[in-house]
Chains A and B, each alone.
Chain A
Amino acid sequence: MKTVNPKGGLMNLKPLFEPKTMAVIGISATNDRHPANVVFAKNNHRYPVEVFAVNPKGGKLHAETIYPRVADIPKKMDLAVIATRAELVPDVMAECIGAGVKSAAVISGGFTEGGRKDLQDRMVDMAREARFPFIGPNCLGVYVPLKVDTFFLPIERMIKPDAGGVTFVSQSGGILVDHMIKFAQQGVGMAKAVSIGNKAFIKEKELLAYLARDPATKVIAYYIEGFGEGEGRDFVIAANACAKPVILMKSGKTAAGNRAVSSHTASLAGDYASFAAAVAQHNIIEAANELELVSFCEVLSSYTKPIEGRIGIITGSGGHGAMAVDACSLAGLTVPELSEPTKTEIKNNLAESVRTIAALGNPADLTGSAVDDDFVACARVMGASPEVDCVMVLLLPYIPGISLDIGVKLSSVSRQFNKPFVAYVPHVEKYNMLIEGFELNGIPVSSSIEGAVLMAKALARRQPC
């Protein structure tokens, strides 16, 4: 897999994400909490990557050899994780390039963010010259489930989501790690987590080119603080041409000190207003906050087909239905009144005891007396009806007639009618098996009604390419 580098040639990012061999440079012989040592320890014998320790002083790290230079390692390195002091990094990178290392993650800090732009410029110059892909500096690097983990966070402290379809690229390492926790909590699987830090060389756009062709990645999400000059334009144009959904969360929306501007347009088209407009224009889905980001990622890794946004709601509680209707309306979705034949058909398929008490409009409130079969019967009619193009199930696991199999049953209805279903189920440990019944069978589940509505909203916002 290749991607175009800023110089116009081709760079191969695969060694960065799927290294077979990896050098960790800057290992301490004495301090196991040194970031380099953490990276070494968590990969060594734990991932399918051969790991080598490097420090100019040489010696031993426990029983392992510390090589003085990367060139001393008797194998070619796919990836170098560089964790030395900032002022040493350019020379280390030159050595890596000289030794034929194929890529690097520079986790050291202290470059532009610490007033040493000169060091960063040297690295970029040599990387461009040698077509040497590196991410960072001042980053965590990459985490790829079952492949590699360059995050200098002790293994026992990290929360890792299951392997799945979302790749999250973040300018901030902290935001990235936090979202791994949130993805894990919401059952959203990840393909890759990429921390790009100062994004000196490999930036959002280069990663987009790689991820667009990465079979593991179904959804590409970004956390972005800002782009360099003109780079926003290049990025949104590339994202518009990408067949996979691109989701973006932005910080720094409030201008620090609205500078005095001499034209109305400059005042009205502020930095964030322009950002939001350019992004939306190019079919990138902007998430306003964490809940939106996680909900959008979850639903778009389950479904790719866009909807118009006519939602059919099935609930066991009238209050939940009413809350969902309000949230749908705010999100620009409609909850259409069902036609009489459709309502009658739902009614005819419900159990006698439910039929007499259910409120069969949209939302369809099946009441606390409903059992699995009633939910399934209602879902079948909505699944078949052209009146709605997405079904939202607000499921209350404490209703006595609901079984652990409800998710499995509803997901087969969703598949049968090729219509996206989204669900709300309260997330507590007790209900995990029920939630997994949905999620492992393809129906995304949110822990809030609002989240379920946001999932439907993402499907409606996603335009066909």
Chain B
Amino acid sequence: MLKKEVRDILEKSRKWGWVLEPDAQKIFSLYGFKTPKYAVATQARQAVRLARQIGYPVVAKIVSPAVVHKSDVDGVVVGIKDDETLVRTLSRLSNIDGFVGMLIAEMVKGLELIVGAKNDFQFGPMILLGMGGVGVEIYKDVSLRMAPLNTRDADRMIQELTARKLLTGYRGSEPIHLNALKKTLVTFSRLMMDMQGVVESVDLNPVMCTAKSCMVVDARMMLKK
């Protein structure tokens, strides 16, 4: 059974066919996933106050029911270090179609992975793990499993990646927190089982993984028609 707040968000989002990013982030933080500190602003003074609370540098992203692919409309600005850039960014983003706010979030570093789900006609929720970022569909270094997953499934998914060495420490880089990644996969797969009646597909891209944690930095949740 989904939490009431989640059901409310899903109900509200139905008319757009997908869940706005701040709402999606809300859902994932409610289910215990680590997310960056974030807030949504529409006014300059409010934006500055929130950004200072979060702490520069920050990332700013367009929030609009009309914009599913934010980078297609230049709707993401990373590495904002001061009030002036922030306000300028807000004024530009507010001109984008359907603008309802600007999401301001803490900058997070780490290894970019994609964790996704697709509600398959024949097999129900399928979980995907891959190397993330914008190149995900170019490299196609992904592994897939039917949900729900257990820890062993999650482990096998990691082992199947061609780039697995990047996760376990390659040429001096620190290995990521594999147990945190496995836990993310397992929890995500259970949530997708609970949501299979309403959700069509989800991209958590990127999930930023470091030696300490795995954080859901961007969440796109498409709903069933």
Contact = CB atoms under 8 A, between A and B. Distances in A.
A265 B201 contact: yes
A268 B126 contact: no
Interface stretch (A103-111, A112-120, A228-236, A288-296): A228-236
Nearest to B18: A262
Contacts of A264: 114, 116, 136-137, 203, 205
Interface in A255-294: 261-269, 271, 273-275, 277-278, 281-282
Interface in B142-198: 142-146, 153
A263 B140 contact: no
- Interface majority SS (helix, strand, loop, mixed), chain A: helix
Given A278-B146, A281-B145, A265 B123 contact: no
Contact of B124 (A233, A265, A277): A233
B27 interface: no
A233 B143 CA distance: 18
A277 B114 CA distance: 17
Contact of A232 (B118, B123, B153, B202): B123
Contact of A277 (B126, B140, B201, B220): B126
Nearest to B122: A232
Contacts of A431: none
Given A263-B202, A268-B137, A278 B116 contact: no
Nearest to B153: A281
Contacts of B201: 261-263, 265-266
Contacts of A233: 122-124, 146
Nearest to B149: A281
B222 interface: yes
Interface string A317-330: 00000000000000
A417 interface: no
Contacts of B136: 264, 268
A268 B205 CA distance: 13
B122 A227 contact: yes
Contacts of A361: none
B128 interface: yes
A236 B123 contact: yes
B120 interface: yes
Given A264-B203, A269-B118, A278 B222 contact: no
Given A263-B222, A268-B130, A229 B200 contact: no
A226 interface: yes
Contacts of B114: 264-265
Contacts of A269: 116, 118, 120, 126, 128, 142, 144
Report which residue of A265, A266, A268, A271 has the largest number of chain B beta carbons within 10 angstroms of its beta carbon: A265
B122 A230 contact: yes
A266 B123 CA distance: 13
B123 A274 contact: yes
Given A226-B122, A275-B123, A265 B146 contact: no
Contacts of B142: 268-269
Contacts of B120: 232, 269, 271, 274, 278
Interface residues of B, number: 31
Contacts of B117: 265
A234 to B, nearest CB: 9
B49 to A, nearest CB: 34
Nearest to A276: B144
B168 to A, nearest CB: 21
B200 A271 contact: no
Nearest to B140: A268
Nearest to A282: B146
Given A273-B144, A277-B145, A265 B116 contact: yes
Contacts of B126: 269, 274, 277-278
A229 B153 contact: no
B113 to A, nearest CB: 12
A262 B68 contact: yes
Nearest to B220: A263
Contacts of A267: 137
A159 B186 CA distance: 50
B144 A274 contact: yes
Contacts of A271: 120-122
A18 to B, nearest CB: 32
B152 to A, nearest CB: 11
A178 to B, nearest CB: 25
Given A274-B144, A277-B145, A278-B146, A265 B203 contact: yes
Interface in B11-29: 18
B122 A266 contact: no
Contacts of A232: 120, 122-123
Contacts of B128: 265, 268-269
A262 B146 contact: no
B116 A263 contact: yes
A228 B120 CA distance: 11
B197 to A, nearest CB: 12
25 contacts: A227-B122, A230-B121, A230-B122, A230-B123, A231-B122, A236-B123, A236-B146, A262-B18, A262-B69, A263-B220, A265-B114, A265-B116, A265-B117, A265-B128, A265-B203, A268-B116, A268-B140, A268-B144, A269-B142, A275-B122, A277-B143, A277-B145, A278-B126, A281-B145, A281-B153
Interface of B: 18, 68-69, 114, 116-118, 120-124, 126, 128, 130, 136-137, 140, 142-146, 153, 200-203, 205, 220, 222
By Cβ-Cβ distance, the 5 closest A-B pairs, closest first, are A265-B116, A232-B122, A277-B144, A266-B201, A227-B122
Interface of A: 226-233, 236, 261-269, 271, 273-275, 277-278, 281-282
Given A232-B123, A262-B18, A274-B123, 6 more contacts: A232-B120, A264-B114, A266-B200, A269-B120, A278-B123, A281-B145
